[in-house]
Chain A
Amino acid sequence: GEDVEQSLFLSVREGDSSVINCTYTDSSSTYLYWYKQEPGAGLQLLTYIFSNMDMKQDQRLTVLLNKKDKHLSLRIADTQTGDSAIYFCAASSTPLVFGKGTRLSVIA
């Protein structure tokens, strides 16, 4: 089955860019997603990308997909303290397969 891996921690300074990386195993995944979870809350869908796309940009968020290497990244430009959260990568399946989440800490 699908397996999704992420680095567990990332620390950046406010105003810098954050890049969160993810790898997956099933090349037939049609969609790949990024979710955000704030403390004590559910998950919020941030963005998703079709597998036939290389890049998707949405305001401060840029998703890059390298389908050959099965590598997905989420770049957050001008990172703010409000971006501190856990970010989950997920691959399309029914149900979704989530990575373990990357805890982003933003230092003021």
Chain B
Amino acid sequence: GAVVSQHPSRVICKSGTSVKIECRSLDFQATTMFWYRQFPKQSLMLMATSNEGSKATYEQGVEKDKFLINHASLTLSTLTVTSAHPEDSSFYICSAREPQGVTEAFFGQGTRLTVV
């Protein structure tokens, strides 16, 4: 089946630095990808919808200048956490939908970000 690969799986960075997380669809073209944030023991919070070739659509309350999303190709979307702070520490997950797919059937394995 289709696979979505997310990289890195874990990252530790210093406060004030930026971190880039990649989300790749390995065997299908994903015109739309989604970025979620998950706090411990909580559900997924949608951060933004990433559309290939256009600007991402951010959910209310998500700072677009802090969480930069780029979807430059049909198989790659990136999320860059800029000027990271300890409160940005979280589990970030991407998902992708096949063009004719029923739903977001394919999720990345997630990235655990720890800002120290």
Contacts and interface: CB of A to CB of B under 8 A. Distances in A.
Contacts of A44: 107
A50 B109 CA distance: 27
Interface in B69-116: 91, 93, 95, 102-110, 112
B105 A45 contact: yes
What is the interface residue range for chain A against chain B? 20 to 34
Interface stretch (A35-43, A53-61, A64-72, A74-82): A35-43
Nearest to A92: B103
Name the interface size band of chain B.
Answer: 20 to 34
Q: Name the residue among A43, A96, A100 with the largest chain B CB count within 10 angstroms.
A: A43
Nearest to B110: A42
B107 A100 contact: no
B44 interface: yes
Chain A interface, DSSP helix/strand/loop, else mixed: strand
A33 interface: yes
Contacts of B112: 40
B67 interface: no
A32 B104 CA distance: 12
Given A31-B103, A33-B103, A48-B102, A42 B109 contact: yes
B102 to A, nearest CB: 6
Given A40-B112, A43-B93, A96 B102 contact: no
A10 B46 CA distance: 25
B62 to A, nearest CB: 13
Interface of A: 31, 33, 35, 40-45, 48, 88, 90, 92, 95-96, 98-101, 103
Given A40-B91, A43-B107, A96-B104, 9 more contacts: A31-B102, A35-B107, A42-B110, A43-B44, A43-B93, A45-B103, A45-B105, A48-B103, A88-B44
